[in-house]
Chains A and B, each alone.
Chain A
Amino acid sequence: MSQTLNFYDEGTTWIHRLNPVTKLVFVAAVTIAAFGVDSVWWPALLFVVLELPGAVIARTALRFCKLVLGFFGPFLVILFLLQGLTYPDPGTVLAEFGPFAIKTEGLVFAGTTALRLLVMVGAFILLLLTTHPGTLMSGMQQAGLPPKIAYVISATMQIIPSFQARASAIMQAQQARGMETSSGGALSRARRLVPLMGPLLLGALTDVENRSIAMESRAFGSPHHPTAYTVVSDSRTQQAARWGMILLGVSAIVLNTLGVF
């Protein structure tokens, strides 16, 4: 696992300063709109009109494109190979190779699905690029997310990098005891996972006890709502904008069902 758990790209643009909940509602609204409307070009329009300019304004356009493509490229290829060649429903056949048949409907289906996913993933990546994970959690907690859930989410984000650090420490310790780490076939490599994963998991699980005692002694399970250390700013305009975005997303579906576009 070479990726870190943090996409955040520091900045001071107004998109960075927005309340995280507003950005989360944007993700929801744009996803609803993309999945709810029955058209190939509609999700592409959403992506080009709403998400790309957002990334440009937040000055992370380059990383945004890289991340979206990095996630999306392989998926796109798989999707087109899968539905382009083996689309199960009857349709206009463009070309045939043995058991495979390229059908117009299959290509349209693959395209629609791909573009919808592009909108959903793009909105998510925009949120993660412009929001510090800590701010995201504080914002969600102020919006009513229970502290236990917020703890689990932020603790996991911190534990995964520390897992990596611990794994490399264990690896060095085992090498110091004479374990070969760089030779052998698949089977001996798999067997070598045991002395690496064993101490990692057992160590992590025995930590649980200490942590829970430490947290109980700091009134973690208390039913009272804790006060916030960092207060995430919010405004009337943003509140209105959140409702507005949801309404727009839903009305896009309604207009589409009524046949307006």
Chain B
Amino acid sequence: MTTSPEKRRYPPWLLIAAGAAIILATYFYLVVWQPESLVGGAGVGPAALVALAGYLAGSALIIAGAMSRMPTSTVTLLPIAIAINIVAGQINNMVGLPLYLDSIGTVLVGLLAGPAAGAATGALSNVIWGISISPASLPFSTTQVGIGLLAGLFARWGWTRRLVTCVAAGVITGGVAAFISGPISAFVFGGANASAGRSAIVALFQTLGLDTLGAAIAQGLTVDPLDKAIAFLIAVLILRSLPSRFSTRFPFARKHAVFAPRRASALARTETADATHQEDTLQGGRA
């Protein structure tokens, strides 16, 4: 049972790819090729089980793949980020806001350490929240995988350098998150969820004539874009108010110049300028 890298039979990206493939397959089974589930009347049929099993297995593979090569500086960041997610999410649920606020830490890691690390943070965050305080968050870990992944990608594309594009990135991420979480909240939870405010929105869409899956996605679309825009904004503001030494310690943030050039010190400015220049040449090479 040794896990030394030399003896590894498969590379980490294979695990991530396999996890993503399982999640996508589950999604297409549930949404595109709609099984006779809610129509049956008597119960939810196999859809709930497929949603649970497929999403959880996919998230587990992604966690395993992303964590296996993570440097220690990122690994020690993860518990802090996850604690931020859980504490903010728990406060939100207690106050009863119709938001989630449980992905600030996920976005933070995505910006600092890249898409894979962000995805692992998100998935682990809901797993830990599930096994510690609220078991109902466990099935939603796949949504957080999507959020972490997109946060990393938007950071790589430079969307987080300005606040306007950063908010736009949050809105897009929120839209995607709504579509990912729809099947879980419809098939596993029957549309209801831990926050009364959010459930009321589902009820509203159901009275307007949508089915439970449609209402769950529509509820997500009303809440998630705002919620994720807030998460992106808070994460960027936190990281900007930290000394630049902190974010430049992460190779991903340094290489892709995730944050706006700073005016605080000449040293930091030349460093970020170098990084932007580097990225420009990289992009030029690709084009």
- The residues of A with any CB-CB pair to B shorter than 8 Å are 1, 3, 5, 31-32, 35-36, 38-40, 71, 74-75, 78-79, 81-83, 85-89, 91, 99-100, 105, 108-110, 112-114, 116-117, 120-121, 124-125, 128, 144, 146, 148-149, 151-153, 155-157, 159-160, 163, 198, 201-202, 204-209, 211-212, 215-216, 220-221, 223-225, 253
Q: Given A82-B191, A160-B86, do A204 and B199 touch, yes or no (CB 8 Å)?
A: no
Other CB < 8 Å A-B pairs besides A31-B52, A88-B206, 18 of them? A3-B90, A36-B46, A38-B45, A78-B193, A83-B190, A88-B214, A100-B207, A108-B43, A113-B190, A146-B67, A152-B67, A156-B82, A156-B86, A157-B128, A159-B83, A198-B241, A205-B80, A206-B243
In-complex Cβ contact of B49 among A35, A105, A149, A221 (8 A): A35
A44 to B5, CA, bound (A): 46
B71 contact set on A, CB distance < 8 A: 221
A149 near B124 (CB under 8 angstroms)?
yes
A31 to B40, CA, bound (A): 21
A35 near B212 (CB under 8 angstroms)?
no
In-complex Cβ contact of A215 among B3, B44, B72 (8 A): B72
Tell which of B131-139, B146-154, B161-169 binds the partner: B131-139
Q: Would you give 14 A-B contacts (Cβ < 8 Å), ordered by A?
A: A40-B42, A75-B136, A83-B192, A105-B41, A109-B38, A113-B189, A124-B130, A124-B131, A155-B79, A156-B78, A160-B132, A206-B246, A209-B246, A225-B4
A202 near B242 (CB under 8 angstroms)?
yes
A82 near B80 (CB under 8 angstroms)?
no
Q: What string of 1s and 0s marks CB contacts (under 8 Å) between B38-78 and chain A?
A: 11111111101100110000000001100110111101111
Main secondary structure of the interface of A (DSSP, over half): helix
Q: Given A81-B203, A109-B38, A149-B63, do A225 and B83 touch, yes or no (CB 8 Å)?
A: no
Q: Is B215 an interface residue (CB 8 A)?
A: yes
Q: Is B1 an interface residue (CB 8 A)?
A: yes
A121 near B206 (CB under 8 angstroms)?
no
In-complex Cβ contact of A110 among B42, B190, B246 (8 A): B190
A153 to B63, CA, bound (A): 12
In-complex Cβ contact of B209 among A36, A74, A88 (8 A): A88
A125 to B249, CA, bound (A): 40
Q: Which 4 A-B residue pairings sit nearest by Cβ, starting from the closest?
A: A113-B190, A86-B206, A155-B79, A79-B192
Q: Given A78-B199, A112-B43, A121-B135, do A152 and B192 touch, yes or no (CB 8 Å)?
A: no
**Please, which residue of chain A has its CB at the minimum distance from the CB of B80?**
A204
B43 near A208 (CB under 8 angstroms)?
no
Cβ of B105 to closest chain A Cβ, rounded Å? 10
In-complex Cβ contact of B190 among A1, A82, A159 (8 A): A82
B134 contact set on A, CB distance < 8 A: 71
A152 contact set on B, CB distance < 8 A: 67, 75, 78-79, 82, 124, 128
Cβ of B227 to closest chain A Cβ, rounded Å? 16
A100 contact set on B, CB distance < 8 A: 207
B70 near A148 (CB under 8 angstroms)?
yes
In-complex Cβ contact of A89 among B41, B80, B199 (8 A): B41
Q: What string of 1s and 0s marks CB contacts (under 8 Å) between B90-113 and chain A?
A: 110010000000000000000000
**Please, which residue of chain B has its CB at the minimum distance from the CB of A159?**
B83
A202 to B247, CA, bound (A): 12
B38 contact set on A, CB distance < 8 A: 88-89, 109
Q: Is B84 an interface residue (CB 8 A)?
A: yes
B5 near A211 (CB under 8 angstroms)?
no
B132 near A157 (CB under 8 angstroms)?
yes
Cβ of A187 to closest chain B Cβ, rounded Å? 14
B209 contact set on A, CB distance < 8 A: 88
Cβ of A259 to closest chain B Cβ, rounded Å? 14
In-complex Cβ contact of B131 among A31, A78, A128, A144 (8 A): A128
In-complex Cβ contact of B43 among A40, A204, A216 (8 A): A40
Q: Is B196 an interface residue (CB 8 A)?
A: yes
**Please, which residue of chain B has its CB at the minimum distance from the CB of A38?**
B43
Q: Is B210 an interface residue (CB 8 A)?
A: yes
B67 near A163 (CB under 8 angstroms)?
no
A223 near B43 (CB under 8 angstroms)?
no
B25 contact set on A, CB distance < 8 A: none
In-complex Cβ contact of B5 among A81, A144, A204, A223 (8 A): A223
A113 to B210, CA, bound (A): 19
**Please, which residue of chain B has its CB at the minimum distance from the CB of A161?**
B83
